C-alpha cells in the first residue's frame, strides 16, 4: 500500500520512519481546561502529539473535542483526538468529525469505547451505532472521497489520519490480531497498544503483528506509586505487572519521607522504562511509544533521555 | 420463546390500588410454559391479592382465568368475552404483548401488567437459567456469525467485534462472568474453518429494518 500524504506532524514523522512519542491527557469532571493545557505545555518538544481521552472507562468527564482544539491553540501541541462510539450515533459522530476538521484537528483515534456499565453513570443507554472499524471506514470516506457514509458530498471536506487501538494483553491473542488485520483492511493508518509492562511481551507482540503494515506505537504506563500498581493489578482485568517491578515499588513505598519516596519512584520508572525503550527501539519494528503518564508529564522527557535517544 | 418475569407482589398491589373487581389473566403461551404466568400462577396471584384485601379490608372481587395465547386477538376475544361481567380491570400475566392485546380487544377495560418482559431466549432447566438469544432485529446475521447472535449476546451489539473488553473469552459487562459473544463466534468459525467470516469487515447496520413498530403482512 502506497503511503498516504501526511497532514499532521505525527503522520509525517511516522512516514519518515522516525521513532515517535505520544503522550496522553485526560480531561476529567471539570469545567475548565487549565490543567489539560498546562499538561500539554509540559509535553511540547518531547512528544509529537498527545491523545486526549473521550470519557475513559465511561466516567462522565469532559469530551475530547474541546480540549483537543485547545491544546493545539494554547499549548501548540498536536492532538490525537480519541473518539469512542459509545455515546453517539453515526450522525453525531460525523457532525463531530466535521467540527473537529474545521477546528484543525487531524489525528483521530477510533475506539469502540468502554461499555457504560463500567463507569459512574451505569444507567446510560449504550449507543455503538458504529464501532472502531466502521468509524475508521467513515474517516477514510471523509478523507479519501470527501463524502459521508452514504456517499453524499461534503463541502470543503476535512483531512484526517485515523489510528486504532490494539491490546497485546488480549487472551487469546489470535482474534485480536485478526481484528487488527480487519482494521488495516478498512484503512487504519497507525495503532497504539494498550499498556505493556514487560519488554519481552512487547517483543512477542510486535513479532506477532509483523505482517500487519500498520505502524504501531507500544503503550507504556509509568507507575506513580505502589498503590496505583496494586490497584491496576487487582482491578484492571488483563493487567499483569511483573513481579520484580511490584517488589521494587513495594520497597520504595516504604520510604517515609514523601518527597524522597516520590523522587525514588520517579527515578525507578525512568530507569525501568529507559531500558524498555532502548530495547524496544533496538529489537522491534515499533513505530514509537505511547507514554501514558497522565498528570506526570515531567517524567516523559526523563524516560526518553534515559533511553539514550 | 419470550422470557417473562413476574413483578414483585408489592409493585402489583400498588398498581391496582383503587380498583375493586379484577380479572387476572394468565397466558398459556411462553409465560405459562415458563411457569411465570400460567393457570397456577394466575390462581396464586389471585389468592395473594385476596389475602391482602382481607387483611386490609379492601372490598372487591378477584377472579382468575387463562387464555391459550394472549398475543392472539381472536383467542383473547372468544375466551374472555363471556367472563368480563362486572370486571373493572384485568391484570395480564403474559409478556408485554398480552396487556396491549387485551386493550385492543377491550378498549373500555383498565388493563395492568404483572410481568417484566426480558426478550427472546431459552431456558436451561438444570441451571434454572433463562438466557436471551434473539432481539428480533429483523435482519438475521446468524449465517455469518457461526450461529451466535452478536446483536443480542454482545452488550454493545457490535458487528465488528470483539471489543477490548474481552478477557479470556469473557465480557467486561457483568464482571467477566458472561461469555463474550465475539469470542464464541471466533471459536465457532474457527471450528468451521470460516475465520474469513470473522475477519470480514461489516458495514454499520441499516436500522430501518428494526424500526418500531414493525408490521408483517401474513
Which residue among A90, A129, A133 places its CB closest to the CB of B160? A133
- The average confidence (pLDDT) of chain B is 96
Which residue among B165, B201, B203 places its CB closest to the CB of A185? B201
Residue of A nearest to B176 (CA): A237
**Residue to test with chain B: of A109, A173, A179, A187, most B Cβ within 10 A:** A179
**Percent of chain B at pLDDT exceeding 70:** 100
Domain range for residue A195? 9-228+277-300
Say yes or no to pLDDT of B101 above 80: yes
Sorted by where each begins, the domain ranges of chain B are 2-118, 135-207
Peptide bond into B162 cis (omega under 30): yes
Give the integer Cα–Cα distance in Å for B196 and A182. Answer: 10
pLDDT means per 10 residues, chain A with 309 residues, are: 84 98 98 98 98 97 98 98 98 98 98 96 98 98 98 98 96 95 98 96 97 98 95 83 94 95 97 98 98 95 94
3-class secondary structure, A16: coil
pTM of the model: 0.95
Say yes or no to pLDDT of B137 above 60: yes
Inspect the interface and report whether the beta carbons of B158 and A194 lie closer than 8 Å: no
Q: What is the ipTM of this complex?
A: 0.94
Q: What pLDDT was estimated at residue B127?
A: 85
The mean per-residue pLDDT over the stretch B33-62 comes to 96
Say if A95 is an interface residue toward chain B (CB within 8 Å). Answer: no
- Does any domain span residue A1? no
Look up the CATH number of the domain holding residue A169: 3.20.20.220
End-to-end CA distance of chain A: 30
SS3 track for A214-268 = CCEEEEECCCCCHHHHHHHHHHCCCCCCCHHHHHHHHHHHCCCCHHHHHHHHHHH
CA angle A139, A144, A150 (to 5 degrees): 65
Number of structural domains found in chain A: 1
Q: Cell 520512519 belongs to which residue?
A: A17
CA angle A173, A177, A180 (to 5 degrees): 140
**Residue to test with chain A: of B162, B164, B178, B199, most A Cβ within 10 A:** B164
Q: What pLDDT was estimated at residue A2?
A: 56
**Residue to test with chain A: of B145, B156, B180, most A Cβ within 10 A:** B156
Peptide bond into B213 cis (omega under 30): yes
* CATH for B2-118 (3.40.50.9100, 3.40.50.11540, 3.40.50.2300, 3.90.960.10): 3.40.50.2300
Q: What pLDDT was estimated at residue B43?
A: 98
Q: Give how far Cα B27 sits from Cα of A71, B64, B79, B91, B110, Å.
A: 62, 11, 11, 11, 18
Residues 6+ apart with CB under 8 A from A186: A133, A134, A136, A137, A140, B201
Higher local confidence (pLDDT), B128 or A244: A244
- Does any domain span residue A235? no
Residue A229: other Cβ atoms inside 10 A? 22
Say if B166 is an interface residue toward chain A (CB within 8 Å). Answer: yes
What are the DSSP E strand ranges found in chain B?
2-6, 22-27, 62-67, 89-92, 110-113, 115-124, 129-134, 166-167, 170-171
Per-residue pLDDT tens digits for B163-179 = 999 999 999 999 999 99
Q: What pLDDT was estimated at residue A224?
A: 95
Amino acid at each position: 500500500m502506497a503511503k498516504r500524504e501526511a497532514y499532521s506532524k505525527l503522520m509525517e514523522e511516522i512516514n519518515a520512519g522516525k521513532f515517535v512519542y505520544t503522550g496522553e491527557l485526560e480531561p476529567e469532571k471539570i469545567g475548565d481546561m487549565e490543567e489539560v493545557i498546562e499538561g500539554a505545555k509540559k509535553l511540547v518538544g518531547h512528544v509529537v502529539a498527545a491523545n486526549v481521552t473521550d470519557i475513559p472507562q465511561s466516567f462522565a468527564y469532559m469530551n475530547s473535542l474541546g480540549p483537543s482544539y485547545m491544546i493545539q491553540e494554547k499549548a501548540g501541541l498536536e492532538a490525537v483526538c480519541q473518539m469512542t462510539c459509545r455515546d453517539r450515533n453515526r450522525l453525531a459522530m460525523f457532525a463531530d468529525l466535521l467540527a473537529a476538521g474545521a477546528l484543525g484537528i487531524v489525528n483521530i483515534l477510533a475506539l469502540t469505547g468502554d461499555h457504560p456499565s463500567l463507569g459512574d453513570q451505569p444507567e446510560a443507554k449504550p449507543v455503538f451505532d458504529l464501532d472502531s472499524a466502521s468509524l475508521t471506514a467513515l474517516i477514510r470516506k471523509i478523507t479519501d472521497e470527501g463524502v459521508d457514509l452514504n456517499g453524499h458530498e461534503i463541502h470543503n471536506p476535512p483531512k484526517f489520519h485515523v489510528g486504532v487501538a490494539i491490546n497485546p494483553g488480549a487472551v487469546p491473542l489470535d482474534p485480536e490480531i485478526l481484528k487488527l488485520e480487519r482494521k488495516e483492511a478498512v484503512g487504519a493508518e497507525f495503532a497504539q497498544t494498550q499498556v505493556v509492562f514487560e519488554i519481552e511481551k512487547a517483543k512477542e507482540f510486535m513479532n506477532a503483528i509483523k505482517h500487519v503494515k500498520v505502524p504501531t506505537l507500544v503503550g507504556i504506563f509509568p507507575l506513580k506509586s505502589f498503590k496505583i500498581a496494586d490497584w491496576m493489578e487487582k482491578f484492571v482485568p488483563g493487567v499483569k505487572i511483573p513481579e520484580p517491578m511490584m517488589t521494587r515499588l513495594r520497597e520504595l513505598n516504604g520510604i517515609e519521607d514523601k518527597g524522597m519516596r516520590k523522587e525514588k519512584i520517579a527515578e525507578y520508572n525512568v530507569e525501568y522504562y529507559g531500558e524498555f525503550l532502548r530495547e524496544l527501539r533496538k529489537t522491534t519494528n515499533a513505530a514509537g511509544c505511547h507514554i501514558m503518564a497522565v498528570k506526570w508529564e515531567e517524567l516523559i522527557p526523563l524516560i526518553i533521555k534515559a533511553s539514550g535517544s | 420463546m419470550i422470557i417473562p418475569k413476574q413483578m414483585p407482589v408489592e409493585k402489583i398491589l400498588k398498581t391496582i390500588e383503587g380498583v375493586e373487581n379484577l380479572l387476572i389473566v394468565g397466558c398459556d403461551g411462553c409465560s405459562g410454559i415458563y411457569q411465570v404466568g400460567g393457570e397456577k400462577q394466575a390462581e396464586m396471584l389471585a389468592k395473594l391479592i385476596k389475602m391482602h384485601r382481607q387483611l386490609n379490608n379492601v372490598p372487591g372481587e378477584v377472579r382468575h382465568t387463562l387464555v391459550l395465547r394472549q398475543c392472539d386477538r381472536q383467542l383473547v376475544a372468544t375466551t374472555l368475552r363471556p367472563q368480563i361481567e362486572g370486571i373493572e380491570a384485568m391484570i395480564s400475566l403474559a409478556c408485554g404483548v398480552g396487556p396491549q392485546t387485551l386493550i385492543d380487544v377491550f378498549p373500555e377495560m383498565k388493563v395492568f401488567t404483572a410481568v417484566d418482559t426480558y426478550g427472546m431466549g431459552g431456558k436451561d432447566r438444570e441451571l434454572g437459567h433463562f438466557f436471551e438469544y434473539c432481539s428480533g432485529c429483523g435482519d438475521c446475521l446468524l449465517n455469518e456469525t457461526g450461529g451466535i447472535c452478536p446483536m443480542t449476546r454482545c452488550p454493545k451489539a457490535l458487528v465488528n467485534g470483539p471489543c477490548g473488553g474481552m478477557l479470556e473469552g469473557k465480557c467486561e459487562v457483568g464482571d467477566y462472568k458472561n461469555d463474550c459473544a465475539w469470542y464464541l463466534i471466533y471459536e465457532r468459525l474457527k471450528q468451521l474453518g470460516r475465520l474469513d467470516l470473522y475477519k470480514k469487515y461489516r458495514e454499520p447496520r441499516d436500522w430501518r429494518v428494526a424500526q418500531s413498530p414493525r408490521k408483517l403482512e401474513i
